[in-house]
């Protein structure tokens, strides 16, 4: 047989996919709750505390509410695209998680399992491809709504993501020049052995961070849904779970891009100071993998918190400020960063 | 012409208050254009607020303490023996600026001495809580210390007629038969007379 696929490999990957997808859904769910709590605490309020102890059932109540709301598809919209929009937003949000290394290897039933759905050697390019597809969900949805406000939101989202993807890509090129690999797994392993990429590329990280904020449509770059000028922006016409999908995709995106940032710049699942080889001898490989996962999630949650922290601090950029920042500041900065990195690498050789 | 006048105005007219702040229209400096210092400053402020105590009072469970002169819902008073003080003189209804109080007087019959303090009493006593402005003039008008405003507030109902409080809603619990409820309803009130 030419195409002999190991059945266990399929099962293993399937389990991994289900776990990762479920985990990111649950995390996104509680990210909505965390957002409200963080907002409340930063504004000297208490926040949702009525549903369950400390309000921990609030996301369930929110989700349930969205499910039971009336599903409205405007008669003047193109129905197929109208449904495709939020589905695409959700799909692309989930797809990015495939290449993220959540931890090192575990040995279960005599099989070595990498805690990563797909270790492809162009991991970063894949992330890039999927993330830039994410805007199609917004664009198609806003276009299909046949509403001026939605269209404006969609246009803004599209132009914003084009502007910031450039700077983001160039910031990443500098990083790739330093690491010499496109595989996220290799990158994390390199960082575990050496220093974190953040210390090699601080400016690159800053540019990347700002661009990630823009890509996720988060404040201060949430012009696509600017409530006070565009009503709801691209999701003005949406209701029920389709609106829920859009909102949910934003939180999944936030979590996944935090995870990508951690993998790229902050050593992924690497536990700082701790010598991994010693620890593995002490507590065994599987427990070490668990510790790695927690470390990874901890780092990712910090960035999710950062997203929220910034949201409740900074007001929205004006549209011309956004474009100025993207084209006249971040892009040249990223280019200079790339040139300097290249020069330093050449000098060190 | 209008623009010219505006220009003259803004240039020569004196500000009407001393709190006017001139708008700074200088172009941003490099530090300001970098945004990041200001952003970090703002983030430090929001972060410091995470450790501040929220001034929220979780309402149905906790209530804000009122001052003893708070004017809430009315209470029809009884004396120590549990007899109603009200003699239906109508002074409260006359004093009421919102005309929220109506009453009907009746004569006390023999054998009702344990119910009413004096020979005349209010057979019907109604206050329309939607009309009432909680000014407390009824309390001041009353010569018998029969009506006063309590610390209870925020009545809620589904219908307008539910806001017309009758005697059964207004009367204080009997101090002889229900001393605890009486003490609770009376609260920290001290009779003014």
User: CA A8 to CA A14: how far, in whole Å?
Assistant: 10
The tally of domains found in chain B comes to 1
Does B42 touch chain A if contact means CB atoms closer than 8 Å? yes
Chain B interface, best mutation among A41, A311, A329, by max B CB count within 10 A: A41
Residue B117 lies in a domain: yes
pLDDT for position B97: 93
Residue B3 lies in a domain: no
Could you tell me which chain B residue has the CA closest to the CA of A310?
B43
pLDDT for position B179: 77
Beta bridge partners of A114: A105
| Tens digit of pLDDT at every position of chain B (193 positions) | 555 555 555 555 666 787 888 888 888 888 777 788 888 998 999 999 888 888 888 888 888 888 878 888 888 888 888 888 888 898 999 999 999 999 998 888 888 888 888 888 888 999 998 899 989 899 889 888 888 888 877 678 898 888 888 888 888 888 778 777 777 777 666 555 4
Ranges A132-146, A269-283, B112-126, B166-180: which has the least confidence: A269-283
| A49 contact residues in B (CB cutoff 8 A) | 58
ipTM: 0.76
CATH number, residue B80: 3.30.70.3270
Position with higher pLDDT, B142 vs A131: B142
Which of A44, A313, A314 is nearest residue B54 as measured by Cβ atoms?
A: A44
Mean pLDDT of the A70-95 span? 86
Residue B108 lies in a domain: yes
Residue B17 lies in a domain: no
Residue B66 lies in a domain: no
Residue B59 lies in a domain: no
What tens digit of pLDDT does each residue of A183-215 get? 888 888 888 877 888 888 888 899 999 888 888
Residue B136: domain span? 74-186
Residue B26 lies in a domain: no
What tens digit of pLDDT does each residue of A24-69 get? 888 888 888 999 999 998 998 888 888 888 888 888 888 888 888 8
Does B62 touch chain A if contact means CB atoms closer than 8 Å? no
- Whole-number mean pLDDT of chain A? 84
Does B27 touch chain A if contact means CB atoms closer than 8 Å? no
- In the numeric block, the tokens 């450790």 are attached to B51
pLDDT for position A336: 92
pLDDT for position B11: 55
pLDDT for position A335: 92
CA distance A270 to chain B (A): 27
User: CA B190 to CA B168: how far, in whole Å?
Assistant: 23
Mean pLDDT of the A278-296 span? 78
Give, to the nearest 10 degrees, the angle between helix A285-311 and helix A276-283: 120
Could you tell me which chain B residue has the CA closest to the CA of A309?
B43
Residue B56 lies in a domain: no
B63 burial type by CB count under 10 A (0-12 exposed, 13-18 middle, 19+ buried): exposed
């Amino acid at each position: 047989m030419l195409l002999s696929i190991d059945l266990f490999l399929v099962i293993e990957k399937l389990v991994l996919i289900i776990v990762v997808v479920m985990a990111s859904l649950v995390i996104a769910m509680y990210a909505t709750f965390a957002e409200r709590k963080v907002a409340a605490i930063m504004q000297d309020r208490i926040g949702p505390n009525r549903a369950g102890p400390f309000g921990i059932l609030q996301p369930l109540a929110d989700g349930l509410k969205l499910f039971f709301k009336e599903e409205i598809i405007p008669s003047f919209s193109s129905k197929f695209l109208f449904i495709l929009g939020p589905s695409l937003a959700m799909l692309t949000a989930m797809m990015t998680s495939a290449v993220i290394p959540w931890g090192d290897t575990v040995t279960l039933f005599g099989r070595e399992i990498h805690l990563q759905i797909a270790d492809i050697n162009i991991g970063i390019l894949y992330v890039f491809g999927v993330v830039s597809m994410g805007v199609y969900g917004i664009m198609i949805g806003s276009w299909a709504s046949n509403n001026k406000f939605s269209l404006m939101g969609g246009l803004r989202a599209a132009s914003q993501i084009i502007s910031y993807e450039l700077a983001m890509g160039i910031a990443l090129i500098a990083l790739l020049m330093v690491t010499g690999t496109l595989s996220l797994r290799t990158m994390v392993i390199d960082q575990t052995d050496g220093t974190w990429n953040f210390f090699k590329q601080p400016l690159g990280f800053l540019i990347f961070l700002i661009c990630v904020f823009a890509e996720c449509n988060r404040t201060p770059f949430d012009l696509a849904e600017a409530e006070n000028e565009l009503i709801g922006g691209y999701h003005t016409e949406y209701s029920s779970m389709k609106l829920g999908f859009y909102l949910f995709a934003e939180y999944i995106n936030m979590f996944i891009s935090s995870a990508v940032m951690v993998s790229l710049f902050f050593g992924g699942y690497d536990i700082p100071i701790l010598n991994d080889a010693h620890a593995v001898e002490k507590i065994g490989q599987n427990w070490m993998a668990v510790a790695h996962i927690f470390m990874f999630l901890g780092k990712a949650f910090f960035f999710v918190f950062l997203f929220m922290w910034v949201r409740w601090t900074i007001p929205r950029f004006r549209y011309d400020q956004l474009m100025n920042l993207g084209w006249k500041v971040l892009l040249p900065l990223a280019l200079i960063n790339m040139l300097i990195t290249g020069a330093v690498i050449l000098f060190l050789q | 012409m209008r623009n010219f006048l505006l220009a003259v105005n803004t240039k020569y007219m004196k500000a009407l208050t001393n709190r006017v702040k001139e708008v700074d229209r200088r172009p941003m400096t490099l530090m300001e254009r970098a945004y990041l210092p200001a952003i970090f400053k703002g983030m430090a402020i929001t972060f410091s607020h995470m450790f501040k105590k929220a001034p929220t009072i979780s309402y149905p469970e906790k209530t804000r303490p009122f001052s003893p002169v708070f004017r809430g819902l009315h209470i029809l008073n009884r004396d120590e023996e549990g007899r109603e003080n009200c003699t239906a003189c109508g002074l409260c209804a006359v004093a009421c600026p919102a005309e929220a109080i109506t009453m009907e007087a009746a004569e006390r019959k023999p054998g009702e001495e344990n119910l009413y303090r004096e020979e005349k009493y209010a057979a019907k006593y109604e206050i329309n809580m939607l009309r009432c402005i909680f000014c407390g003039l009824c309390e001041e008008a009353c010569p018998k210390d029969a009506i006063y405003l309590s610390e209870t507030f925020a009545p809620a109902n589904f219908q307008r007629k539910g806001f017309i409080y009758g005697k059964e809603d207004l009367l204080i619990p009997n101090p002889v038969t229900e001393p605890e409820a009486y003490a609770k309803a009376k609260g920290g009130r001290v009779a003014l007379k």
